[in-house]
Amino acid sequence: MVNLPSRAVAGAKHHGSYEWLLQRFTAAIMAIYTLGMISLLMIRQPDGYSEWVAITDNNTWRFGTLLTLLSLFVHAWQGVLDILNDYIKPLALRKALKFATALALVCYAVWSVFILWKL
């Protein structure tokens, strides 16, 4: 039995296929939400705060928006990782920027919950 090497980057812990698929899955969620929101805004043409509240003050909107925002943060994480891996060559700086990105995105996720439920 000839064994092909299982990977070339020795010591790397990551998969590739899951990330690739997740990037597309989160994109699809955001695309559906975006098209839905744009149609909703075009139909309802909210003019003023009370009409905006009528659209947003329900749990369907809240959970849909939260799902989309979380998809956005996961999607952004993969995208920023891709950019940092390509252009930032000093290892310490790259690791620091990855950490800062992860921290920011986690904060955004918590903040999103606070925003949507007016906590």
Partner 1 sequence: MRFSIYRFNPDVDLEPYMQDYEVALQPEDRMLLDALLRIKTMDDTLSMRKSCREGVCGSDAMNINGKNGLACVTKLSSLSEPVVVRPMPGLPVVRDLVVDMTQFFENYNSVKPYLVNHDPVPETERLQSPEQRAKLDGLYECILCGACTTSCPSFWWNPDKFVGPAGLLQAYRFMADSRDQVLDERLDNLEDPFRLYKCHNIMNCVDVCPKGLSPAKAISKIKELKMKGLKSGGFKAPASATPLAGKQISIKRVP
Partner 2 sequence: MSTGIAMPYHQRPKNLDLASIRLPVPALVSILHRASGALIFLLLPVLLWALQQSTEAGGYAGLVNMMDSTWIKPPLLVLIWAFIHHFLAGIRHLTLDMRFGLEIRQARRSSKLVLVAGLVLTLLAGIWLW
Positions that interact with partner 1 (CB under 8 A) = 1-12, 14-21, 85-87
99 binds partner 2 (CB under 8 A): no
Distance CA 52, CA 37 (A): 12
Q: Judge contact between 75 and 25, C-beta under 8 A.
A: no
The residue within the footprint of partner 2, chosen from 22, 37, 76, 81 (CB under 8 A), is 76
Partner from partner 2, partner 1, none binding residue 18, C-beta < 5-8 Å depending on class? partner 1
Interface with partner 2, residue 36, by CB under 8 A: no
Measured from the CB atom, is 22 or 104 closer to partner 2? 104
Q: Which two tokens stand for residue 50?
A: 């009370």
Neighbours of 71 (CB within 10 A): 20
- Scanning the chain, the segments in alpha helix (DSSP H) are 17-44, 49-56, 59-87, 91-116
Query: Which residues of the chain form contacts with partner 2 (CB under 8 A)?
Result: 24, 27-28, 31, 34, 49, 52, 56, 72, 76, 79-80, 82-83, 104, 108, 111-112, 115, 118
